[in-house]
Amino acid sequence: MRTLRAILFDIDDTLFSTTEFARKARRNAVRAMIQAGLDVPEEVVLKELDEVLSEFSSNYEHHYDKLIQRLRPACLNSTNPALIVAAGVAAYHDTKFRELAPFDDVFPLLADLKRVGMRLGVVTHGWTVKQAEKLVRLGLVPYLDPRAVFISDQIGISKPNPKLYALALRDLELAPQEVMYVGDSPLHDIAPPKSLGMITVWARRAARHGIEGTGIVPDYVVEDFEQLRGILVRDFGLPLP
């Protein structure tokens, strides 16, 4: 049996469906903006919002302000644009409060892994506050080793730079072959840690990009965390139920 001392996870589209959540939250935001006085068909606003996200990135903090600028004052029905933006922001955050949750099989696996003494952590790409907030809202913090939370913005190294993973190994004082990394992006989550000799698991269920034709070969491919549980028992001898 191979010795496994830590498992590190990506967050987005690995521990929860970021893509599905964002789609729902943005639609709720757009509907709230229309209700507040934005006189534009919902699908038109959503398409424009998608362009804003593409052009300014999902980490930009003023998507709805840019959206209003692009839709022009004629669409506002004389409503103060700040109220329309605020309605969108509030609806987005209300959706976050109500519906942000990990996949159903995440808590059971993490709880069992922690019980048997496995060190658990995350290596994630994004803004420090946003990624930390996700961990808190998802309820994942109690399962994580506090020394094993690595956020690209906080560290100053972005995915897919392997240095991000190398730093995690160094801080945890673990050899690459003792650490498993689980993520959804072949380019960001599989190729870099594999280049260091880490054990890689491609979590396919919410992945936005396929692996075919990339030349990237993960050690394991799983559809869900029940399959991951089976691998951990079979190949690493973990005493999981």
> Is the torsion defined by CA of 14, 204, 113, 169 positive or negative?
negative
Q: Based on the fold, state whether residues 138 and 174 are members of the same structural domain.
A: yes
Per-residue model confidence as pLDDT tens digits over 194-237: 999 999 999 999 999 999 999 999 999 999 999 999 999 999 99
Q: Based on the fold, state whether residues 47 and 112 are members of the same structural domain.
A: no
Per-residue model confidence as pLDDT tens digits over 13-57: 999 999 899 999 999 999 999 999 999 999 999 999 999 999 998
Q: Of the candidates 99, 117, 152, which is a domain's last residue?
A: 99
Residue 73: pLDDT over 80: no
Measured between alpha carbons, how far is residue 98 from residues 137, 179, 225 in Å? 10, 34, 24
| 47 inside domain | yes
Q: Based on the fold, state whether residues 141 and 214 are members of the same structural domain.
A: yes
Of 43, 19, 45, the residue nearest 33 (C-alpha): 45
Measured between alpha carbons, how far is residue 150 from residues 141, 146, 165, 195 in Å? 13, 10, 9, 18
27: how many CB neighbours lie within 10 A of its CB?
18
The chain-wide mean pLDDT, for the chain, equals: 95
Q: Domain with 132 in it: what CATH number? A: 3.40.50.1000
Q: Domain with 87 in it: what CATH number? A: 1.10.150.520
Q: Of the candidates 99, 133, 161, which is a domain's last residue?
A: 99
Q: Based on the fold, state whether residues 27 and 116 are members of the same structural domain.
A: no
Q: Based on the fold, state whether residues 148 and 216 are members of the same structural domain.
A: yes
Q: Based on the fold, state whether residues 135 and 31 are members of the same structural domain.
A: no
| 105 inside domain | yes
Q: Of the candidates 57, 77, 99, which is a domain's last residue?
A: 99
Q: Based on the fold, state whether residues 140 and 206 are members of the same structural domain.
A: yes
Q: Based on the fold, state whether residues 43 and 106 are members of the same structural domain.
A: no
| 50 inside domain | yes
Q: How many domains does the chain have?
A: 2
| 241 inside domain | no
Per-residue model confidence as pLDDT tens digits over 163-172: 999 999 999 9
Range of the domain at 193: 6-16+101-236
- Asked whether the whole model's pTM tops 0.85, one would answer yes
Residue 112: pLDDT over 80: yes
Residue 136: pLDDT over 90: yes
